[in-house]
Structure 1
Amino acid sequence: MASNGEITEGPLPNWLELPTEVTAKILYKLGAFDILTSARLVCPLWWKTCKDPLMWRTIDLTNQPPSYPHTAMLKLCRYAIEQSCGHLEDISIDFFCTDEVLKYIADSGSHLRRMGLLMKSWGISDVGMIELVKKLPLLEEFEISFNCLPKNILELIGQSCPFLKVIKFTLFIGFPKGFECNDDAFVIAKTMPELRHLQLIANRLTNDGLLAILDGCRHLESLDLRGCSNVDLSGSLGERCCKQIKYLYLPEDVSEFSYYFEDEEDDGDYDDCYYDQECDWGKEGAYHNCVVAHSYGDCIQ
């Protein structure tokens, strides 16, 4: 700063002089797609930094432009997995995925702890899913957004992944109003006893399925039932949910997923959230020891 108080321009910082670990942290924040398509091409130093396998422990390829070619995404995904050199722990991919990609993940991801398959790809077959699941024994979290997931594959996930703590299952398909199916719930209750967090968006389970989950998954801390319109939490079942589950998302909370429920009737106003540590189930809005989140106000009490 000059003596008269005016700010003078100094030399611009030389980004190439940053410590390697600082540069790596900055580049890591960009995300896999931007690293692969631009950042690593800036200079030899950034190219070398982006070759570090530890940069690729987490790969998220779900935020690419919609117009980006699928064939190019497949090449980028394969390259990113290669760069991890077996250190891959967390991967999220969407509609460009194929059986070939799943096989490559399974063969390269022996340390994989989390996987997200977001949006159904017609390139994924049941056989591809089965071969993937059998090779991920350390998996702790699985996020699946499919039109449907066959019962035998969901069962295999529970049997092959003994450390599974989190499962997020979203159905991207509409069902006739009143359609009921407890297959998913019964499989989860039977094969995933160590679950801590369970998300079932727009599932067709009924109270029988929910009861099976509560009986079979005794360590469950959070339960997301948004859009599960066949579940009725009035009476003793709702009381048990609030005694057993710490974080509970109610079936009525569908605004965030309104495009799934265009034909569903909105029977009430859910602008308010209620929390009452002294539970009296007969009292309006009393949910004991649980957080009830309504997406209308994005409020958690």
Structure 2
Amino acid sequence: MDVVEGGSDNEEKREWAELTQVCLVNVFSRLTYSERWKGTMFVCKSWFEASKCPSLFSRFDLEPQFLAVPDSYLWWNSEFENKIDSILRSVACWSDGRLKEIHVRHCSDRSLAFVAERCPNLQVFSIKSCPNVTDMSITKVAFACSMLGELDISYCHEISYKSLEVIGLRCPNLKVLKRNLLNWLDPSQHIGIVPNVYLNACPQDGDREASVIATSMPKLEHLELRFSKMSANGLASVADGCGSLEYLDLFGCANLTSRSMENAAAKMKNLKTLVRPNFYIPRSLFHMERYGHWRLYDERFQTNAFFHI
């Protein structure tokens, strides 16, 4: 590909490949990550070298690519995970420590351990739907990336309360935490896409996670706990420990009553938005032995937990 610069009898042709790296980087910075990765990077050697400039990798965001197509069962296999790991490791290497934001899905402990080594300035870390990310790599990230201000570990069922505790202790500036789970109340939307064994691995320790969040993340302003299995006790601990919360998402939290949410909201003076469960909760989910007939009627039916809140 060439550009013709005319205007005189001696027209001059200049090859794009001969542009300085500074010029190329300036042009590439205006392209999306996908455009660079699938196009410019493979034109020629000089473009490839310019495409690896650290200044182009302060932010790595694959979320638009995931949102552009329907969820696929192919994303949950090891081959796809290996590809994501390879891309993430390359970006972490090329960034030369400048990477501040990561938005990715379906990576594993292998690439995150590398990120922990190479990206000490990480501030926004979003790794959704990662069945092979565990406490091991999250702990490494927590110790290496103390500047974290936003963390999204939604649908990562192998991450436990232990990681949340270390993140809270090692990342004192954390303001945003998204710990949403897959819809265990109506898993039909995931069947055929998410492996059944992973659907059945939905974390059960909602109250313990809530307690850790309350004690180790007092500066949180935004918290998402969709489909958490925490009870009123867990929510009460969050209300007591996270007084700076402005946004709290409890959609799908089937074990909460309207009364417990009202009590919690009353304690959180800075709260601006409270997203309630807002769905029909089947009676079969309730532990009838815990409630007498009238108490069940009073706490569940009267407070509209069976209907849209």
Is TM-score (shorter-chain normalized) higher than 0.5?
yes
1:35-76 Cα deviation digits (max 9, x unpaired): 223232245675454222121111123436755843333222
Could you tell me which of 150, 171, 186 is aligned with 2:160?
150
Give the drift of 1:20.
Answer: 5.5
Give the partner amino acid of 2:122. L
1:112-146 Cα deviation digits (max 9, x unpaired): 00101110223x33323322222111111100021
Matched with 1:90 is: 101
Give the drift of 1:108.
Answer: 0.6
Structure 1: gaps of 5 or more residues: 1-10, 255-260, 271-301
1:157-187 Cα deviation digits (max 9, x unpaired): 11111111110001126279xx884111111
Q: How many residues get paired?
A: 244
Give the partner amino acid of 1:23. V
Matched with 2:83 is: 72
Structure 2 distance, partners of 1:100, 1:180, is 26
Matched, 1:249 2:275: yes
Give the drift of 1:189.
Answer: 0.6
Give the drift of 1:191.
Answer: 0.4
Matched, 1:105 2:115: yes
Give the partner amino acid of 1:230. N
CA RMSD in angstroms, aligned pairs only: 3.5
Task: Report matched runs for 1:29-48 at 5 Å.
Answer: 30-31=32-33, 33-42=34-43, 46-48=47-49
Give the partner amino acid of 1:80. V
Matched with 1:53 is: 54
Evaluate the alpha carbon distance shift between residue 231 and residue 101 of structure 1 in structure 2; reply closer, same or farther with a 3 A threshold: same
Could you tell me which of 142, 146, 149 is aligned with 1:133?
142
Contact 2:97 2:121 in 1 (8 A): yes
Could you tell me which of 249, 253, 260 is aligned with 1:224?
249
What fraction of aligned residue pairs are identical, expressed as a percent?
A: 25
Q: TM-score when scaled to structure 1? A: 0.69
Q: TM-score when scaled to structure 2? A: 0.67
Structure 2 distance, partners of 1:148, 1:228, is 19
Give the partner amino acid of 1:52. C
Matched with 2:218 is: 193
Structure 1 distance, partners of 2:158, 2:250, is 17
Structure 1 distance, partners of 2:99, 2:175, is 19
Higher normalized helix content (fraction of residues): 2
Matched, 1:209 2:234: yes
Could you tell me which of 147, 156, 159 is aligned with 2:169?
159
Evaluate the alpha carbon distance shift between residue 84 and residue 48 of structure 1 in structure 2; reply closer, same or farther with a 3 A threshold: same
Matched with 1:119 is: 129
Evaluate the alpha carbon distance shift between residue 110 and residue 243 of structure 1 in structure 2; reply closer, same or farther with a 3 A threshold: closer
Contact 2:240 2:267 in 1 (8 A): no
Give the drift of 1:210.
Answer: 1.6
Give the drift of 1:111.
Answer: 0.3
